[in-house]
Structure formats: structure tokens, C-alpha cells
Structure 1
Amino acid sequence: MSIVWRLRVGNLPKYMEPKGLKKILVKMDIEEAKVKKAPKWNYGFLTFKSKATLEDAQKKLDGFKVRDNTLSIENCNTTEDAHRFRFDNRAAQVREKIPIDARAAAEKLAEQVTPYYKMPYDRQLSKKTTDMAKILSDFRNKMKKMPNKQETRLKVETAKMWLAWSLDNSLSLPFKTLDTIPSPNTEGYRTKCEFTIGFDLDGNRTVGFLLGLYKDGVTAVLEPQECVHVGDAAKKVATAMQNYVRSSDLEPYDRTTKQGYWRSLLVRTQRCGEIMIIVQFHPQDLTEERITEEKARIKAFWEAMRTASEGAVDTTTLLVQMYNGIANGFQEHIPMELMFGPGYVHEDMLGCRFRISPTAFFQVNTPGAEMLYSMCRDWCNIDPTKSTTLLDLCCGTGTIGITMANSVGKVIGVEMVEQSVADARENAKNNGLNNAEYICSKVEEVLHVLNQFDSLTDSVVAVLDPPRYASSFLLLHFYVDCSD
């Protein structure tokens, strides 16, 4: 009887994301652990492939502290049959609650991946504005309660001082909320898609999106051809890969049985015309020789597709990720092998060119990003008569700082993903900038370094997009430190 080797890790920071926990495991040299943690849980589950790896992780984690929280470790092994029964039983319970749905499969998929697709665009914008106002209002109401939760009178008074805006009942919100700004394009805009390789409702091998949530027992995959947010180039790549998989003697990976080989397909189709394809493959029990043969086949296939008479795809770069873990989706910490091309693609934006590596963050709607960054530049209200330092926090590939570099004296970018920092440095160099530098670190760990720029220049402007977990806390401290 197969055993599922699991640990329950307790006393985690409540809002820690699974990625945050994974990064801690990597730093502690704990590999091949499947992480499960919901946003509001102060605990999580780690699943291992063997008893030895579980025991090794248990030793390393016992007594370990995360943000002053001492972790509690509990062994909760179970059998594979019992674990699968729990999954199947939960899926059955979900299905019982769902009324019979006579809609076409494509319509169900559209609602899964683009929930507002039937709503006129002006109503979508209005709804998003209303929803965001409610979120901010709920946040304000939660802030009202914070002073009374403090441990000492001094902390209570300090909290009241900082949160005075939330305690003023005459104010709905302490700032003006603007209407949601429409995107320049609403169809085919997405430049990055992660497709699942699996089976459709009829059991055919398919490359596309899951029809529902895997946690609810949904494993059917549908083609993306009718998805309005996916561009034509990405659809062509998905179709080509589907044809390859259907002709292959290797089956797609089955998320339930954990058998099969073809797992996922990640596609970047940039506006400038460059295309990146990453194929994720489970080696199972194949020999190294057989794996090498399959890599050669997939490489030859995509090279031939460049000049195909029908459905040609001019791929810029192709990579393969061999992954035998339990977690689904592409894994940033697992190496990718370059099959051909430079290993990255480019995008042109606001007169600048950016290099994008496989794991780097880059906005998926290029025209929308151009509008966002233009407004960001206007809102920063840079005074050309003063020497200004722009802090591009969680900068990714450096897009915001680089597009604003000619308006400021200096750009300091901070990013914790090493490959993104390498991209940012290369992007600054390729765009002819000599006033930008980048630090590979978490923002909160280099605040003492950033503070020096408040005294070295006339003004400091900090930009954070997209916002990260704990960013409000770290920026509050940065503001206080600079004020001092």
C-alpha cells in the first residue's frame, strides 16, 4: 500500500503565500516538496516523495523561525488510497451542490477564464470600480479596530495617531477614488499563457485550459480557440503542440493518477513578434537515452514549424523543463534546458526595448502597461529642476524605472528574483542608461541602504507595482525612516 508522506507545518504567518513558503524550503535545501497553503491559513502541508526526504525536512524545520514565529511540525502521513478517496469524495460533494448545467463546454470555459465575458465592457469597468471601493472601505473598517487590539496604552495611542484617518467618521475614504481606466484593447491582449496538457471531455489529448478547479475534481481540458483574451499567435502554438502530443507515443500527464508525461505549455507571444515556448515534461521511468530522443524530437518539430505551409509558428526560443514533482504548473526553482534560441524574448514599450527571461515578471497586456506606466510617470510629478532618485521597488525586469530614467537623476531598482535583476541590468545597458542600478534583495532587507538617497538628492520618489505581500508595512517603515 503506497504511503503519502506529509508534514503539517503550523504557526506560519497568516497571509504567507505558497511561493513564500517554497522559497524558504529552497533556502533550507528542502527540495521536491509539494506545498499546500491557503491565504488565510496559519498552517500548511508539505508532501514528499519518500520517508527519507520527509524526515530530513522534519529535522531542518523543527524549531525554525519565520518572522519570529517558531514553526510547529506534525507528521500526518496517510495512504494513497485514503488521500485519493478524500479528494474524490470532496469532488463528489462539490458536484452535488452544482445544479445541472446544460451550457456548451466552450461557454463554461469562457466563464472559468474570463468571468465577465458576457458583461458589456462599460459595465465591467463600473463593477470593478465599485468592487475596489468596497474593498478599500472594508479595509478602513478593519483599521478602525486596530488601536483597541494593542497591548499597551502607548501602542494604543500610537496606533490612533497613525490611523486617525480611519477613525474619522466624517470621511468615507481619506482619498479620492477614480474610475477604472479602460484597456486600449479588450481582445487577444494576453502575451503570456500557461496551458495545461491533458484530456478533453471526450478523452482526446488536448492543450488548453482546465474547465474548472482541480481542487474540485475537474481535470478536463478545453482548447483556447474561443477564449477572447488569448491572442491568435498563442492559439496557433497551442494547436501545434496539441497536434504533436496527439501523434506522440507518450500520454499526457494525469493529475489524478500521477501517470503520463506531457504536463504544461507556457507561451509568451510578444507584440514585437518574438515567441517563447516552454514545454514541461514528466520523465517518469524513461531512460536518459529515451528522454534525449524526445527532446530532439520536440526541438525538430518546433524548428520545422517555423516554415510550415500551414499554421507556421516562428519560435524565437524553445526551452524544456523536466519536472517529476507533485505540484502542478511551472516551477521557477527547477532548471529549464535551452533547445534553441537565446533563452529569452524582447518587448518594445514606450520607446524602450526589454529582455524577458522565462521566469521574469512582465505585464501581460503591453498597450495597457504603456498606459499604466505613462500615468505612473505623470503621478510621480517629477520636478525637472531638482535631482530626483526614483526607487523602483519589486522592479521585475526594470520597466517602470527604465521608462522614467530620462526624467530623474538616478534609478534604484530592488527585486528578489535573480534572473529578473539580470534582465533589468541588461535592459538598462541596452537602452543606453548609465543612471540605473539594481539590487537583488527583498525590499525590507535593504531599507537602510535606500534611506541614504533621501539625503543625497533633492527628492525621492518610490514606485511599487504590482504591490507585494507586506509591502504596506515595509513602506511605512521606509517613510518613517526617511522622515527621521
Structure 2
Amino acid sequence: MVPENKGGSALELRIAPLPKPWSTYELAEWLDACGAPASDFVLCRTAAGMDHGYATYADASLAYAAQKLLRQCARVGKLDSASNAKNQARKLDVYVYARNVSLNTKYVQLFGRPEALPTSGGDAAANTTSTTTTSDDFVARDPRDAVAPLWRWPYANQLSAKFRTFSSAMERLTKHIAKSDGDDNNDEDDDDDATKKKMMRKKFPCPCFGIVRSPRVHWYRNKCEFTVGYDDAFQPTCGFQGGRFADGFTTITKATDVPTASKSARLYSDALSSFLRNDGQNEAKTQLPLHFRVWDKVQSCGFWRNLIVRETGMSADLEATDLSWRDYLVAPDALPAECADASQGPTATAADETITSEFGTSTGTSFGSVRPSSVMLVLVVSPAAALACVRARGLASSGSERDACHRLVTSEVQRMVDFVDRAADEAGDDVPRAGAIVVLYHDGCANCAPPNAPMEVVRDDVMAQADATTSEQNAAKERYSLSFASFTPGRGALDESLLGLRFRVSPLAFFQVNSAAANLLYRAAGDLAKEENRGDGGATEAVTADVLYDVCCGTGTIGLTLFPSPFPRLVGVELEPSAIRDAWENAARNFDAEKLRDDAVTFIAAKAEDALPKLLRDRQGGGRAVAIVDPPRSGIHHKVVSALHANREIDRLVYVSCNVETLVDNAVRLCSGEKGFVPVGCLALDLFPGTVHVEAVVVFERKKE
């Protein structure tokens, strides 16, 4: 689809990828060499670590002609004429995007093939049909394929694919451990050599329980992040992007059919789209400068950027049961032997029928969509856009620009809040009104706002009703010097129930996105931390330890579920200060002062690689300790690995991972040497149905002397 060309307005081309060493001068030189000199603005962004540049042409006919010439020049290697590009030229493919400058942010990816483009003259609108193609290289992806690429697969096939990923990683760990043991014992006898070879042939380095299926396969996410932009018809839209911006995906598609998003999240996303399209275009809105429209990634301008919908209470049906993670365990031999190709949409297999008959529905889930108990909306907006609007309209003539910006943002956000409230009311009892609404101010290039982004609470009806902190708990906060200097309990947060405890969830705090499956994950991690069970079906024996170290503790969820029994002391370490504040609040609201006395619970806001080595050094000779690590996808820092490996008082370690590759890398170091760890049990879990991701839990014990 070609943008409308009003009055011969200029069009801007986005050209990517370009050689990293290029400067703006070299880009302009190459455009001249290709016979497509820019009419006006030229900018190369490679110096900023990006791979693209921009060129502006006076009208659509010149822009389309330039697109054809640039693509042809890229194919024949004309980039060789520019300096520093000779070794990269033939590897390049130039993609050109057009943006109608006068329309601000209304840009599209040109779908046309080079031979279909006009070489000169002609009306842009007349070429709409000829410049459109069904080439898979250019057609925008279905958002379901971007968000949940396995959504067409029967659930048994999904579990099988994920278990294969998990077992492949465990097999790699087995080989590393066998090789490391061999290197540590160069004088091994023939029997030891035979044992090593036997281990090399094993798939798992320890007994494997299997894979735990998710109690809910569809509509399970308690947190959905939506992008605000334009769809392929240039309508303001809140939804999902079809792929990475760097790969050429710019249009936004509504989340109506995305199977992972809850009903509430989809309704609020659609409501914001409707507001931006309808109510957002009334007379008051059209008087605002173009800077106050939706965010434009190319120009880095616009007001509305993102919408985050967070929900709680989505695992209430599971909480009401006595089911454990073992009730959802699927043995490896119950999975399909082979996985079909996702693009073909695999049909149900005998194994899928087995899972169906055992667990309920055709997708392998026992629970359907549930009504959340509370909803939070986090709106990410650009303060620079508001400032530009204030200056353009002269709104600060009677006061400071900051006050004028705040009034303008408050007015605009309140209009949006009123609109989405009406949408929620019209939906009936299935979707509650948002009890907490927070505005985040963010002007960076990336969509995601940083943890320290300025925040303003617009509405906070959730925690005010849920927070019933007793005087004893308030006294506990003062007794243990909890740092609440910049924190007001209940401000802009949700209240979540998990394993019988209540947890505060801040707008940007990490919390597992699948509440029902998180129940099973934490139960499994807790059982494996406190029970001597090697996965062989034998009797379990309780672990006795003086302290539990919860590394990368987040809001303290795992550690607090294991305190004070079986672990009488809890030490949590987390980088994000707001998560630590939530952890302190969670401890105080779930346990009375008697249980929290004598520093029984400690949460530290610091890098784990800085705090943990000192903590372990300070408690030398303090008795047995157990550690749980739940790191981000990048794994744990090598200093943390070294500290865990060196401190022999930690004789049991539970590693929870969302990335089996980094798990293996860390585990190889943990298991090295005669005083390292050895894996004694492992388990896979599906926390993200419809995606390729798999969660893993591996239990390690210290090698016996």
C-alpha cells in the first residue's frame, strides 16, 4: 500500500543494512554514484551502532525511482565505489522504506519488486496495485506467529519439542561433566575409563522426572506488553508488531486473536486502539500538534508509546485445589516420538490423545479463561512530546512549562481512562475495571522503559482495599530498618496470591507471567530444595539447613514460600531496588514480628556477583546452607558461580532457568573439580505454551569427599 501524496509532499527512504564504517558523507556519495542523489536530508546512523540511513526526496515519483535504482545497485555491487565497503558490498541487500514527511509517522514498507516501480513521473496512488506483492520476504507476519510461534501445534507436540530442547541441553551437560572428570583424573584406571565412556553415552547426567505441563494453555499471561503505532491501513493501533523493527516490521496488528493474551488484556488493548482512532480524533485532539500522536520509531517522536496490562488472581482455581506439580507431570515416554513441522500445523497424535484423556481438553489444559481479581494498566508516554505540544500552543505563558506539561498529560490520560472504563463496563462481569493505572515517562529509543523511569500513579484502588497490615507488622518494618523512605505501601501495585501467601507486584517488578504454572514451578523448586529425592521414586528425606540463599530473588516469592520452615533464615539478593522494596513488604505482610526477629529475613539490593561472595565469606562455619538461583536468560555471573562453587557450606543448590543454554554453561563450572557439585535430579516445565521457551530445574549436591 502506497501512502497518499498530498501536494507533492516529500518522501523519506530508510535504507538498511549499510556497512558499519560508513558516515553520512559516504552514504551521500553512494547515492550520487547510484544516480539517486537525495533532494534534501541525508543521515547515516552506523556511527550510533545502527545499520541504516535516511534520504529525503522531493516527491513520490523521485522516491520510487530512487528505490528501484538503489536496489539494483545493491545487486550489482555498486557499493564497492564507496570507501571502507569493498569487503561487505556483495553481502548487502538494501531494503527501502517510504515515509510521507508531511503526514508525520504515516510510513509504510514498500512491498513492490524493483521492476514494478516507476522510473520517473506518474502519480504515486496510481501505482498502488503494481507495487504490491505477496512475497513472503515482505508481507507482514501474523502476530500470532511472532508472539506464539507454536500456536498451531497440538499441545503434546509442543511438550515434545520443548522436552527435546531440554534433553539435548542435559546431554551436552553430561558430556561436559564426563570430560571434566576425566581431565581431573589423568591417572584413571581402565574401570574409571569405562565408567566415563558409559556416562558419555547417557542423555541425562542425573534422574529426570519429565516435563510439567501448564495448567492453562491459552489466555494464560498475567502481563501483556502492547506496542502503539500504525497498522497497514495507517490507523493508530495498540497491539503486537509482526517482528523486529530491524528486520523491517513496522506495522502494528490488533491482539484480537493472539492465544496467549488474556481476555482482559485484549479488551484494554482494543479499547486504546478505539480511543486513538475515534475519541482521540475529536476537535480537541486534532488541535494538538502532530508530536502528540502515536509514537514514530523512525522520527523518535509521538506521545503514546506502549500499554502494559498486568493482572492478578488468574490462578485462583488452581490455588483452591491440592494438586501438586507431580499431578501435572508428563513422562518422556508419553510424548510423541517425533515433532511435526510447525508451518504445517501438525495434527493430533496418539500421544496427544493420551494427554487429552488424562488431563481434560484437546489442548491439554484443565482450566479455561478466568476473570482476574484485579487489573493494572501501565501507560508509557513521551514527556518530550508533551513539552513540544506546550511550546507549540503557548500553554506555559501563565506558568512554568513543567506544570503546563503535567496538566496537558493529565488531561489526555484522563480522557483515555474514561474511555477504557466505559469499554470495561460494556464487557460485563468478565473484565473488571482497572484498579491501578500508572503513567511511565520514557523518551528513549527502545520501547521498554527503564526501571528508574519517572512514574505517576493515576489510580490506585487495589492495594488500598487489599492491604490490611497489622500494627505488629508495621512495628516489624521499623524494627528491622526496612528502607521505605521513598516508598508508600499500596501505591500503584497489585496484590497477588501464591502458595498461600500474598505478594505485592509493582508496575515493572518481575513476576512469572503464567500464574498457574508458577504455582507448580515454585512448588517443584521448593520440594527439590527441601527433600532428598533423586527422582527414582524412592522415599524422600527432609533437608536440614540453617539458611536459604535466594539469588536473583525478585520480589522474594520462592524464598518466602520456604520460610520459616524448613529454612529458619532467608537471605535474598536482587539487583532491582523496587523489587527489594516489594520483597520487604511481602515479608512484613505475610509474617508477624515474632517470625521476623533476629534478622531472620534479609533482602539486599545489589548485584549478586558483588553481594554473594561477601555474604558467604562472612558466614564461614555457620552450618549447612541451601541456595536457589533463578537468574535472567543471561544466566548467573561468573563471580556468583565461583562463590557458590568455593563455599562448601552450600551443599545443595537448586537452579531454576528460563534458558537451558546458559544453565549448561553455569553448570559446567559448578560441577568442575573434586569439591564442586554433581547434578542429582532435573525437571522441565512449560511456563510459556505456544512458544519455544522451556523452563528447567536442576538440583545439585556437593560432591562427597
Change (3 A) 1:182 1:92: farther
Cα separation, 1, equivalents of 2:576 and 2:228: 27
- The 1:125–1:397 alpha-carbon spacing in structure 2 relative to 1, beyond 3 Å, is same
Q: 1:113 to 1:138 in 2, by over 3 A?
A: same
Give the Å deviation of 1:169.
Answer: 3.3
Aligned Cα root-mean-square deviation (Å): 3.9
**What residue ranges of structure 1 are gaps of 5+ in the alignment?**
1-43, 46-74, 149-155
In the alignment, the residues of structure 2 paired with residue 454 and residue 91 of structure 1 have an alpha-carbon distance, to the nearest angstrom, of 60
Alpha-carbon contact 1:208-1:223 (below 8 Å) kept: yes
Distance in 2 (alpha carbons) for counterparts of 1:160 and 1:196: 60
CA distance 1:82–1:182, shift in 2 (3 Å): closer
Task: Pick from 542, 551, 560 the counterpart of residue 402 of structure 1.
Answer: 560
Where does residue 349 of structure 1 map in the other structure? 498
Q: Matches of 2:582 and 2:180 in 1, distance apart?
A: 41
- Is the counterpart of residue 461 in structure 1 residue 607 in structure 2? no
Structure 1 residue 322: deviation in Å?
2.1
What does 1:16-415 align with in structure 2 at a 5 Å threshold? 77=47, 83-84=53-54, 90-91=94-95, 100-101=135-136, 108-138=142-172, 168-171=196-199, 172=202, 173-246=204-277, 247-248=279-280, 249=285, 250-271=292-313, 273-282=373-382, 283-284=384-385, 285-287=388-390, 288=401, 289-290=404-405, 292-302=407-417, 305-306=420-421, 309-311=425-427, 313-341=432-460, 342-382=491-531, 386-407=544-565, 408-415=567-574
Instruction: Give yes or no for the alignment of 1:440 onto 2:601.
Output: no
Deviation at 1:225, TM superposition (A): 1.2
Check conservation: 1:211, 1:222, Cα contact below 8 A.
yes
User: What do the CA deviations read for 1:333-354 (whole angstroms, capped 9, x no partner)?
Assistant: 3222222212111111111110
Residue 381 of structure 1: CA displacement? 2.5
The question of whether the paired residues in 1 share the 8 Å contact of 2:616 and 2:643 is answered with no
| Stretch of structure 1 that moved more, 244-253 or 135-144 | 135-144
Aligned with 1:169: secondary structure?
helix
Query: Are residues 307 and 430 of structure 1, via their aligned partners in 2, closer, same or farther at CA, if it must alter by over 3 Å?
Result: farther
Contact persistence 1:451–1:478 (CA under 8 A): no
Separation in structure 2 between the aligned mates of residue 231 and residue 445 of structure 1, nearest angstrom = 39
In 1, the alpha carbon distance for the partners of 2:186 and 2:237 equals 55
Determine the structure 1 residue equivalent to 2:369: none
AA aligned opposite 2:550? D
Q: Identity, % of aligned pairs? A: 26
Distance 1:358 1:465, change over 3 A: same
8 Å Cα contact 1:345/1:357 also seen in 2: yes
Deviation of 1:465 (Å): 1.7
Letter in 1 for 2:436: T
Question: CA offsets, 1:417-462, max 9 Å, x none?
Answer: 10000000000000015132211112221222134456334x2111
CA-CA distance at 1:128 after TM superposition = 0.4
Q: Which residue of 2 aligns with 1:21?
A: none
Q: TM-score, normalised by structure 2?
A: 0.51
Amino acid corresponding to residue 265 of structure 1 in structure 2: L
Is the 2:379–2:438 Cα contact (8 Å) retained in structure 1?
A: yes
* TM-score of the superposed pair, with normalisation by structure 1: 0.72
Greater RCO between the two (CA within 8 Å, min separation 6)?
A: 2
- Whether the 8 Å contact between 1:388 and 1:409 is mirrored in structure 2 is yes
1:340-386 CA-partner distances (Å, limit 9, x unpaired): 21211111111111001122110011110000111111111256684
SS in 1 for 2:426: coil
> Aligned partners of 1:403 and 1:206: how far apart in 2?
41
Does the 8 A contact of 2:174 with 2:205 survive in 1?
Answer: no
Moved more, 398-407 or 173-182: 173-182
Q: Which amino acid aligns with 1:279?
A: L
**What letter matches 2:135 in structure 1?**
I
- The aligned amino acid for 1:310 is E
> Is the Cα–Cα contact under 8 Å of residues 193 and 267 in structure 1 kept in the other structure?
yes
Shift of 1:481: 2.3
Q: Is the 8 A contact 1:451 1:482 kept in 2?
A: no
Deviation, structure 1 residue 475: 3.0
Given that residues 209 and 223 in structure 1 are in contact (C-alpha distance below 8 angstroms), is that contact kept between their aligned partners in structure 2? Answer: yes
Instruction: State whether residues 392 and 463 of structure 1, in contact with CA within 8 Å, keep that contact through their aligned partners in structure 2.
Output: yes
2: CA distance between counterparts of 1:259 and 1:147?
Answer: 57
Segments of structure 2 that go 5 or more residues without pairing to the other structure are 1-19, 22-44, 56-69, 72-91, 98-108, 114-132, 286-291, 314-371, 391-400, 461-490, 532-540, 650-674, 676-705
- Paired residues in the alignment total 399
Distance (Å, rounded) in 2 between the aligned partners of 1:302 and 1:273 = 19
Residue 168 of structure 1: CA displacement? Answer: 3.1
Q: Say if 1:394 and 1:235 are closer, same or farther in 2 by CA, change over 3 A.
A: same
Deviation track 1:57-107 (CA, whole Å, cap 9, x = no partner) reads xxxxxxxxxxxxxxxxxx9747999623799965469988x98349997x8
Q: Which amino acid aligns with 1:200?
A: D
Distance in 1, Cα, partners of 2:452 & 2:185: 42
Higher mean C-alpha displacement, 354-363 vs 294-303: 294-303
Distance 1:314 1:380, change over 3 A: same
Q: Which moved more, 1:75-84 or 1:221-230?
A: 75-84
Aligned to 1:31: none
State the alpha-carbon separation in 1 of the partners of residues 252 and 186 from structure 2: 50
**Alignment pair present for 1:421 and 2:575:** no
